[in-house]
Amino acid sequence: MAERILMNEFKSLAQEKWVHIELNNDDIFHWIVALIVLNPDSLYYGGYFKAAMTFPKNYPYSPPEFRFLRPLYHPNIYEDGKLCISILHAPGEDEMSGELAAERWSPAQRVESVLISILSLLDDAEVSSPANVDAGVMLRKNPETYKAIVRENVEASKKDIPQGFEMPTHESTMKKPVDKFDDQDFWVDSDADDDVFGGSDSDEEMTLDEQDTGSDDEEENHKS
């Protein structure tokens, strides 16, 4: 069952622009994932954050493992690239961590929800219980220096962009507006009104003149 579920999820995510995925050695349980930040307001915009994702044989009853392959300086990312994030923790409530069961992994979760949560975590760090204490302190006390390090991380991540891969941007993923049909221009430029109403204004005026002329002739004949 796990293979079928993962294959369906892989095919679905392969259509998305914000993530680039491939199988490691054609193994459906081992993915190479790259998160692509498309929010232009994000500090991580333009980055290509490559990671390894490993799934257990009993997926989706147990959570996958996720690890960034290139280090990221972030309060919730360990030096080895692993994350401290509730959604990847085993199901059930943990009194020690204070995490509720609803915050942790459940069989209803999917790869997409995990990746979206990770993207959200990048810009919305949880500094109360950091995996990287130094990064948490810097974010709170020296945010400008922290932002500078993030920008360096973003530039470094671009080295992992595959040759020939066209990086999507915020602009390229925006839907183009559909041109609205201007019915006023249609009526101005067409002769449809002539066909509908039986001729042009000049034709109508000519008919009225002819009617007047005809009336005058009848009146003259009557007098005579």
Q: Write a three-state SS string for 65-90.
A: EEEECCCCCCCCECCCCEECCHHHCC
175 belongs to a structural domain: no
Within 10 angstroms of residue 152's Cβ, the number of other Cβ atoms is 11
* pTM score of the predicted model: 0.74
Report how far apart, in Å, the C-alpha atoms of 184 and of each of 190, 197, 202 are.
10, 17, 22
- Does residue 20 lie in a domain region? yes
Q: pLDDT tens track of the chain, all 224 residues?
A: 999 999 999 999 999 999 999 999 999 999 999 999 999 999 999 999 999 999 999 999 999 999 999 989 999 999 999 999 999 988 865 656 656 677 889 999 999 999 999 999 999 999 888 999 999 999 999 999 999 999 999 999 999 999 999 999 989 887 655 555 445 544 455 454 455 444 444 444 444 444 454 445 554 444 44
CA distances, 133 to each of 60, 74, 78, 97 (Å): 32, 9, 9, 17
For residues 19 and 53, state if they share a domain.
Answer: yes
Q: Which of 37, 84, 125, 154 is catalytic?
A: 84
Domain count, the chain: 2
Identify whether residues 103 and 187 lie together within a single domain.
no
**Host domain of residue 207:** 183-223
The reported pLDDT for the residue numbered 151 is: 97
Residue 192 confidence (pLDDT):
47
Residue 176's pLDDT is 59
Q: What is the CATH number of the domain that holds 142?
A: 3.10.110.10
Q: Note the pLDDT of residue 205.
A: 46
Whether residue 177 lies inside any domain: the answer is: no
136 noted as active-site residue: no
Position 59 scores a pLDDT of 97
